[in-house]
Chains A and B, each alone.
Chain A
């Protein structure tokens, strides 16, 4: 399977614990994105990387959240001291700008997501 993969698919944790999610993008894609989706809502942007550089962070990304992409390949999203409000689906996407014409610029391919439940 050459799509975006995310692990784990499901995570149940107790409030106050730390959790870490992993995203493996499509191999030639140099941009990687994290989104969060709560029930009944569309995904909300959290942050994105171009190669190993984190270029934009949403105000939704509090200081308890940290994302890394150390070698410009896979990425991790860590949530420290989880709260019940962190319960959501965390989606990862990747893209390769310039792959096609500018009108197809930066089509994002999404992974299946990691569903986090904080008890």
Chain B
């Protein structure tokens, strides 16, 4: 079972920041938080990951709370092409780094 909880859907206006929350209250000390997204009719795509520090790359920023029980994926300037299902995944530790365990994700709709 997925170790994360996400809202089923969110909306965002084009050009605004999209903030996608994720709860992972049972995360252990050596588990990472990963984010993937899946655009309609495509395979999932890796976005970003982190352990405890905030991370930023060309796609997004990841903010992890100090207690690591939740995180937020930030798309700073959402575009229509960011419309997708976003999956927050806890990975590593005793579960290993092999399979990805997906939940239902958050369906983000970016509108004009």
Contacts and interface: CB of A to CB of B under 8 A. Distances in A.
Interface of A: 4, 31, 33, 35, 40-45, 48, 55-56, 58, 91, 93, 97, 103-113
Given A4-B43, A106-B98, A113-B42, 15 more contacts: A31-B98, A35-B100, A42-B2, A42-B87, A42-B104, A43-B100, A45-B101, A91-B44, A93-B44, A105-B97, A108-B44, A108-B100, A110-B43, A110-B44, A113-B43
Given A41-B104, A97-B97, A109 B42 contact: no
A104 B87 contact: no
A106 B97 contact: yes
B91 to A, nearest CB: 8
Interface of B: 2, 32, 41-46, 49, 51, 85, 87, 92, 97-105
8 contacts: A31-B98, A40-B104, A42-B85, A43-B44, A43-B102, A45-B101, A108-B44, A113-B43
Contacts of A111: 43
B21 to A, nearest CB: 17
A89 B104 CA distance: 15
Given A42-B105, A45-B101, A48-B99, A108 B32 contact: no
A100 B45 CA distance: 17
By Cβ-Cβ distance, the 7 closest A-B pairs, closest first, are A110-B43, A42-B102, A45-B99, A106-B97, A105-B97, A110-B44, A43-B102
Contacts of A48: 98-99
B99 A56 contact: yes
Contacts of A110: 42-45
A28 to B, nearest CB: 17
Central interface residue in B41, B100, B103, by most chain A CB within 10 Å: B100
Given A44-B102, A103-B32, A109 B46 contact: yes
A51 to B, nearest CB: 14
Contacts of A108: 44, 46, 100
B103 to A, nearest CB: 6
A41 B2 CA distance: 12
